[in-house]
Structure 1
């Protein structure tokens, strides 16, 4: 008779989150043999100390790890097991990217329409612009457009825009060659992120449009394809045009402001602007402040932000100094370089009472 401390296969299966049939398979493959098998009935029994191994086995199979690799992970020391898991994830991601690009080629071949040349841009410049603007995106179920990048091309400029509803970032680039046509589309942000390394290493990137995507034609590198989204992008131009005039302006060192934000103890940041300069308050309840040397004009103002909204807007600004235009404690704030206007970010404040 089995030891009373052992568990029947059904009980053990529930503890490990596996089915009895899966346990039989793993036993037959040698990955998880039972402690005891009743010689008469054939019933299998497992020990409580096998639950952790069974749970890890299940989790590894859930990330599509093959049995040979699972066995290596289960029998390895923690550091080696972590390395093997990282190798598996890298392979899965690489395979997925290859499948994605192959599928793009197949879809492109299904239509008789030739790709439409849009613009040519310097690869490193385009990569930096994409990376900067994509900081203003978010993954939100049911609203994929908030994770996307809007690209608008004219003969004179290519504009990249993104928004997560709390921030809006837009940057205008001068193409290396005049744009061939006027074009606008919303491009999948994750696919652009995946292509960033190749874009940055390409001297020139030619953007070509297809009915459902855009090709990024690289110099001496593999071309990349990114899907277009059909959802309507927010009318950000109307929002920008409707902004009231700024009532307060602050010009401050980007490095000093970022350092103050990094050292701030809370999740929300309160800025106080006076004619003496800019102050980063410790908390609203205890308004000990960090004074920053800044050039200020206009009305005195106190305004609060989520750190996750303000910090990316400041960190992506171009140049050593940032210019902040404020319109009131509940109005969008414009953040841009003090001497360059091709990257602009809008950041939404929070109400002083923290009600959102």
Structure 2
């Protein structure tokens, strides 16, 4: 029996200023465990006495403090916590100065962009209304997740469940031979019929992204309706603009089925995203050796004969030690696609897909395939 004094994850999230997805992430990381978990539903419940720790966690994250250092702040003596925060604040100050100089140079060189309009709006059955800038960011994020710029791909719009008031989620999906990226967006869905998936051709993604960037809201029509005897083509409408989408065969996998089939993780690691990116070798492949408090980045071969030796990145590790190999360009793109200072990797084995997430954006999930381990 769950104590009535405990708070649901949603109520506790509102109390401390965190999102439920962030609380789940911090539970997975071992930074902030719920007081109780319902064994039947899996729902998390928190106590009022956990508020201070949660607020401290949130405030340190507002500083973009890496999770490995957040753990030290939460667990260590105040003197050590103050030292960590002061060192990090000094780094932020130096970064802010560089950013201000770069922004001033960019602003000085920017020019206004022209806009164009197109023809009138027809009617379709399944329509999805979303925030334009969020949709543009989602398309760019999933396409850049692990795909070289020389091989552009289309994306998939996939509708999830819809509430009685029409609120629901639009999943923006992109995939390649070694990766699958998904970002979900809140949406208002009307007239939901059989058209729940809309593949977007590669040639349409950039015009669609540009249209979405300059509109607060836009409507995606999945093209299930008809005008007279002619079928309505799928299109994106944002008055006065409209983009008619070309027909594209849906060859994308079901991301829900893929994620549902993943084995439970055996090794979980959280590390600083920038440090991990800097540790990548120039080789075509990279091996990650995950240990209890760090990850070693090796070039094409393991051992003391490696040129320059491996690079070590401090990390918060859970589960078993593991060695897993990736194509360097795949891992590099995966690290750069997420948001926030930290990246979380979950693996069930050296030959199994690796899940990539971040605490700062629970709506984005990336799956990357490792290379076959060398014998």
1:157 aligned to which of 137, 149, 169: 169
- How far, CA to CA, are the matches of 1:317 and 1:171 in structure 2? 11
The structural deviation recorded for 1:295 is 0.6
Q: From the superposition, tell whether residues 137 and 217 of structure 1 become closer, same or farther in structure 2 (CA, over 3 Å).
A: farther
Partner Cα separation in structure 1 for residue 198 and residue 311 of structure 2: 43
Structure 2: give runs of 5+ residues left out of the alignment: 1-115, 163-167, 225-231
The separation in 1 between residues aligned to 2:217 and 2:360, in whole angstroms, is 26
Q: Does 1:216 align with 2:236?
A: yes
For the pair 1:181 / 2:204, whether they are aligned, the reply is no
CA distance in 2, matches of 1:343, 1:222: 28
Once the two structures are TM-superposed, the CA of residue 231 in structure 1 deviates from its matched residue by: 3.8
SS at match of 1:324: strand
- CA distance 1:346–1:213, change in 2 (3 Å): farther
Of the structure 1 ranges 290-299 and 280-289, higher mean CA displacement relative to structure 2 is found in 280-289
1:345 maps to what in 2? 366
- Do structure 1's residue 230 and structure 2's residue 243 form an aligned pair? no
Aligned ranges 1:199-210 → 2 under 5 Å: 199-210=212-223
SS of 2:344's partner is strand
Any idea what the Cα deviations from partners look like across 1:245-296, whole Å, max 9, x if unmatched? 11000111112112222xx221111111000211111341435211112111
Q: 1:311 to 1:213 in 2, by over 3 A?
A: farther
Which of 302, 306, 309 lines up with 2:330 in the alignment? 309
Q: Which runs of 4+ in 1 moved over 6 A?
A: none
Q: Which residue, 244, 259, 271 being the options, matches 2:288?
A: 271
Answer whether contact 2:179 2:368 (CA < 8 A) is retained: yes
Alpha-carbon displacement from aligned partner over 1:78-98 (angstroms, at most 9, x marks no partner): xxxxxxxxxxxxxxxxxxxx9
Tell which structure's C-alpha radius of gyration is larger: 1
Output the TM-score relative to the length of structure 2: 0.58
Which residue of 271, 276, 298 corresponds with 2:319? 298
Q: Deviations over 1:274-321 (max 9, x none)?
A: 002111113414352111121111110111111221111121112221
1:200, CA displacement in angstroms?
0.8
Name the stretch that deviates more: 320-329 or 188-197. Answer: 188-197
Deviations for 1:181-209, whole angstroms, at most 9, x for unmatched residues? 26222221320223212211111111112
Q: Is the 8 A contact 1:117 1:206 kept in 2?
A: no
Q: Residues 34-71 of structure 1, C-alpha deviation per residue, up to 9 Å, x if partnerless?
A: xxxxxxxxxxxxxxxxxxxxxxxxxxxxxxxxxxxxxx
Which residue of 1 is the match for residue 153 of structure 2? 147
Counterpart selection for 1:190 from 203, 211, 220: 203
Deviates more, 1:245-254 or 1:337-346: 337-346
Asked whether the 8 Å contact 1:119–1:178 carries over to 2, the reply is yes
Number of equivalenced pairs? 239
The 1:311–1:179 alpha-carbon spacing in structure 2 relative to 1, beyond 3 Å, is farther
Structure 2 matches for 1:7-86, cutoff 5 A? none
Could you tell me which residue of structure 1 aligns to residue 41 of structure 2?
Answer: none
Correspondence for 2:301: 284
TM-score of the superposed pair, with normalisation by structure 1: 0.61
C-alpha change, 1:333 and 1:137, in structure 2 (3 Å) is: closer
Q: Is the 8 A contact 2:126 2:189 kept in 1?
A: no
SS in 1 for 2:133: helix
Contact 2:270–2:317 (CA<8 Å) still a contact in 1? Answer: yes
Q: CA deviation at 1:239?
A: 2.2
Distance 1:138 1:179 in 2: 33
Q: 1:300 to 1:237 in 2, by over 3 A?
A: same
Residue 88 of structure 1 corresponds to none
> 5+ unaligned residues in a row in structure 1: which ranges?
1-97
Give the C-alpha shift of residue 150 in structure 1: 1.6
Q: Cα distance 1:121–1:133, how it changes in 2: closer, same or farther (>3 A)? A: same
The offset of 1:179, in angstroms, is 4.8
